[in-house]
Amino acid sequence: MQFGHGMGPDTSWMRTELTDLGVKELTTPKDVDQVFKEQKGTMLLVINSVCGCAAGNARPGMKLAMGHSKKPDEVYTVFAGQDKEATSRAREYFNDYPPSSPAFAFFKDGEIKAMIPRHRIEGRTAQEVADDLVMVFDTFCGQPAE
């Protein structure tokens, strides 16, 4: 187990596993509000987590899904348990759903259209998670990405 910055286990790889895919981190409530205020088109919000049992397949499932021909215009992430204020603010935008992490929230023109909560991730393979994401992408994303 690695420890960094004197703050417990090093979880930076859990962030880079997403940011290496081009996923943009939202680390403050202001970041979250800015994104939601200007949101047009399709957007996926990944609620990242340190939970090994579910997040261990959520991030690899996300990577598989991002190889699909149709994908959201924008993809962002908040890190539950680490960027607590940003995660709490993000959840205000889909507060009809109980807090869940890891999870995926899909929006079109600022309106939530689909939610894949932890119970749809935990105990499933990365490919099964990717299949759920691809189904959402096919349903709500327009033409295949260039």
3-state secondary structure of 78: strand
Select which of 51, 64, 112, 114 is catalytic.
51
Q: Is 90 exposed, middle or buried (0-12, 13-18, 19+ CB in 10 A)?
A: buried
Select which of 9, 19, 53, 84 is catalytic.
53
Q: What is the DSSP letter of 3?
A: B
State yes or no: is 141 an active-site residue.
no
User: Which secondary structure element, helix H or strand E, spans residue 61, and what is its range?
Assistant: helix 52-65
Whose CA is closest to 130, among 74, 38, 19, 46?
Answer: 46
Give the HSE-up count for residue 79: Cα atoms under 13 Å, Cβ half-sphere: 18
Catalytic residues: 51, 53
